[in-house]
Amino acid sequence: MSELKACPFCGGELKLVEDYYDGNLFRTECQLCLRSYTGTTEDDCRDREKVIALVNTRPIESSLESQIASQQETIRKLTEDAERLSKQLEGSGFCCNPHDRWLELFADDDTHDDDCPVTLHRALMSELKGDGE
């Protein structure tokens, strides 16, 4: 038997109940809030695995998990980018080209080498904004 997820309402443990009315139907019941879940049709209720699959289907949860994973990846990329910029600029005060002022490092018309932290930072920010540059 497949494993049941926790109750979507209270987080309690769901149990599969096999004796529903005439004994041929399945449902799940929360052991904490006592809510019951069945299939959408009688045919669904007769299939143990289908009832479990229906109860475990959480489209909003899946969507949120996907968004969280994407945001965690963005945070990881930004953290690496910040560390790279910090390390490169920490000792020298400039990147691939000497600059008179800090703000010149990030001026749009300023050119940098392909492997320069500033160029890599700009590429990452474009990617995260969805510019596709």
Task: Identify the residue with better confidence: 13 or 51.
Answer: 13
Tens-place pLDDT, residues 32-72:
999 987 766 777 777 888 888 888 888 788 789 889 999 99
Number of domains in the chain: 2
- 1, with CB counted inside 10 A (0-12, 13-18, 19+), is exposed
Indicate if 81 and 34 belong to the same structural domain.
Answer: no
Domain that holds residue 97: 66-129
- Report which of 29, 8, 7, 2 is spatially closest to residue 18, judged by C-alpha positions: 29
Indicate if 75 and 99 belong to the same structural domain.
Answer: yes
- Domain presence at residue 9: no
- Domain presence at residue 6: no
Between CA 69 and CA 85 the distance in angstroms is 24
- Domain presence at residue 33: yes
Tens-place pLDDT, residues 64-102:
988 999 999 988 988 888 887 777 666 665 666 655 555
